[in-house]
Amino acid sequence: MATFRYQGDGETRCCRYPLYVNFTEIGWGDWIVAPEGFNAFYCDGSCPYRFVCLYKSANTHSLIKSTLHHLNPASPQPCCVAKRLSPLSVLNYDDS
């Protein structure tokens, strides 16, 4: 199973980068009490055909895009995507 690489380790394929979302900075601080924000992360980097096939991609979409790119190099190269997402509990004000 492929693992995500983090920015800074020199990896250029299937990298996970931090993306901190601060609720106050996006204008939601007046109605979201807690948490102050969270790390949403985002994926960036290429997934070469041989890489997707070798590590058995986490989803069918990236496998199809990789195959299409392999057959037609002019098509967009696939990018990594999250294999799993986690819930986020939020305490917020409600006008009702």
Domains of the chain, CATH where assigned: 5-85 (2.10.90.10)
**pTM, full prediction:** 0.60
Q: pLDDT-based confidence at 77, cuts 50/70/90?
A: confident
Which is more confident, 23 or 44? 23
Is 81 exposed, middle or buried (CB count within 10 Å of its CB: 0-12, 13-18, 19+)? middle
Q: How much is the pLDDT for 30?
A: 94
